[in-house]
């Protein structure tokens, strides 16, 4: 379908799929429009980037990096990238529409109380911790890049200055000076190399200070003077800060990156863990408690259609191969042991890691006690019968973070279940041949 062109040089209809509406904002290289997906009726934010401007200033790699990062980091508190399109002169990014505006606008009306500040800060730290676990460093955290839903949930955006762990130099550090001056860590200004995780933590400290104070910790009309204050960690907490908040901010804004508080210590701090009034139990926890397994008293017998539906990735022992952890949300294996043996093994695993257990004769549900990067990890195991003496067990993530689930599979499930996993004679002969080859 041909594109209809407006006078402002962007198509009003993209690929016959998105209808562009009013402009929501603009920057040096891009404009953001309200858009509607004509197929679903869903509203999105369409970021329209001018290729010529980006190429002219040598920022095409940065643009590609932003897209790569947004595709990789899927988190409830990160703005979701739905789709990327392009024409000869433009790049179009269809993104999640966040209607509540910037956190900056909320702070501009006045400082927040500690419960509200904690509510936003907890979500920010959750995102930062998640990104760091994926080897991604944001490097431009500030209230302008934190968007709000109407329900006051936080969404982190603008990964244009982010870096991957692959960008580290031989000294294991990043060396590109970037970020917004008032929020940038002293070691970044120093141009001697810096740890991206520690630099993000500093920025989180500045953001927390701003949320509670209503102004910046390091302020000066002269940029050099402001940098001197940042170098020295020269700031004062207002008298209305609680002792716990004052202590946490002092540790976050430690000018020495080697002694600065870590993200795990932040999450374990008294101030961070203090509850904000909210629903005590999550939807996932209620579903776990409601599980009875009444629908399946015995393992369901698989027919040909079931087998075909399970055939995608039907590797009967992926848990037990020495491979790098891949972000998979389910895994299957076969066993000649009875369902009761499988269930007993899973109960042993749950007991060893202090997970709660719900079970029936053909299924098991495990749920962690501690909150991870996306809440409590929950795992479902369902048992199917190919024949009365040959079972297929499907293990999948029910809730939580995929990387944490994969690590759980590798560290806990693999050792616990290896004795009951069936391997074909062909697999055994292959293993024996490898062993003979390794010994020769």
Tokens 């870096």 sit on residue: 163
Catalytic annotation on 140? Answer: yes
Short-list 157, 235, 139, CA closest to 194: 139
Do 253 and 235 touch, CB atoms closer than 8 A? yes
Evaluate whether 176 touches 200 at the Cβ level (below 8 Å): no
Hunting for tokens 């309200």 — which residue is that? 34
β-pairing, 300-301 vs 375-387, is parallel
Distance, C-alpha 373 to centroid of its chain: 7
Nearest Cα to Cα of residue 378 among 345, 343, 350: 350
- Report the distance separating Cα 245 and Cα 264, nearest Å: 16
Report how far residue 51's alpha carbon sits from residue 30's, in angstroms, rounded to the nearest whole number. Answer: 9
Under 8 Å between Cβ of 118 and 71: no
Alpha-carbon span 176 to 199, nearest angstrom: 12
Bridge partner list, 255:
none
53 is an annotated ligand-binding site residue: no
The answer to whether 62 touches 160, Cβ cutoff 8 Å, is yes
- End-to-end Cα distance, the chain: 64
User: What order do you get walking across the sheet with 81-86 strand by strand?
Assistant: 13-14, 18-26, 30-37, 43-50, 90-96, 81-86
Q: Which of 8, 115, 129, 140 is catalytic?
A: 140
Which residue in 214, 239, 247, 254 sits closest to 116, CA to CA? 214
H or E stretch covering 365 = strand 363-372
b/e sequence 262-290, b meaning 16+ C-beta within 10 Å: ebeebeebebbeeeeeeeeeeebbeebee
Residues annotated as binding site for ATP? Answer: 51
Detail the residues annotated as belonging to a binding site. 51
Q: Which residues does the annotation mark as catalytic?
A: 140
């Amino acid at each position: 379908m041909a594109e209809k062109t407006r006078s402002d040089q962007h198509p009003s209809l993209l690929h016959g799929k998105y209808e562009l509406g009013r402009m929501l904002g603009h920057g040096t290289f891009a404009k953001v429009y309200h858009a509607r997906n004509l197929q679903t009726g869903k509203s999105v934010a369409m970021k329209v980037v001018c290729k010529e401007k980006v190429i002219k200033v040598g920022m095409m790699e940065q643009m590609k990096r932003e897209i790569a990062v947004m595709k990789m980091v899927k988190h409830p508190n990160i703005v979701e990238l739905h789709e990327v399109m392009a024409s000869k002169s433009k790049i179009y990014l269809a993104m999640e529409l966040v209607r509540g505006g910037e956190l900056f606008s909320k702070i501009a009306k006045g400082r927040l109380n500690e419960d509200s500040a904690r509510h936003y800060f907890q979500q920010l730290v959750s995102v930062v911790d998640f990104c760091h676990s994926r080897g991604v460093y944001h490097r431009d955290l500030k209230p302008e890049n934190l968007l709000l839903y109407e329900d006051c949930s936080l969404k982190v955006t603008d990964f244009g200055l982010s870096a991957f762990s692959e960008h580290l130099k031989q000294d294991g550090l990043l060396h590109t000076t970037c970020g917004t001056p008032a929020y940038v860590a002293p070691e970044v200004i120093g141009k001697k190399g810096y740890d991206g995780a520690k630099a993000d933590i500093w920025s989180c400290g500045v953001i927390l200070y701003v949320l509670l104070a209503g102004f910046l910790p390091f302020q000066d009309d002269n940029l050099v003077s402001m940098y001197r204050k940042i170098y020295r960690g020269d700031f004062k907490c207002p008298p209305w800060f609680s002792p716990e908040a004052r202590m946490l901010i002092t540790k976050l804004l430690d000018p020495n990156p080697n002694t600065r508080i870590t993200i795990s210590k932040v999450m374990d701090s008294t101030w961070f863990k203090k509850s904000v009034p909210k629903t005590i139990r999550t939807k996932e926890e209620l579903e776990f408690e409601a599980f009875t397994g009444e629908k399946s008293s015995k393992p369901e017998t698989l027919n040909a259609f079931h087998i075909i539906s399970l055939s995608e990735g039907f590797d009967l022992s992926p848990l037990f191969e020495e491979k790098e952890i891949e972000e998979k949300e389910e895994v299957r294996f076969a066993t000649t042991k009875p369902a009761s043996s499988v269930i007993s093994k899973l109960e042993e695993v749950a007991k060893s890691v202090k997970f709660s257990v719900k079970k029936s004769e053909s299924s098991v549900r495990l749920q962690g006690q501690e909150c991870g990067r996306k809440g409590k990890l929950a795992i479902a195991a369902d048992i199917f019968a190919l024949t009365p003496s040959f079972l297929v067990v499907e293990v999948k993530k029910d809730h939580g973070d995929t990387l944490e689930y994969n690590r759980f599979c590798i560290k806990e499930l693999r050792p616990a279940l290896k004795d009951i996993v069936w391997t074909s004679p062909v697999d055994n002969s292959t293993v024996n041949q490898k062993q003979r080859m390794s010994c020769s």
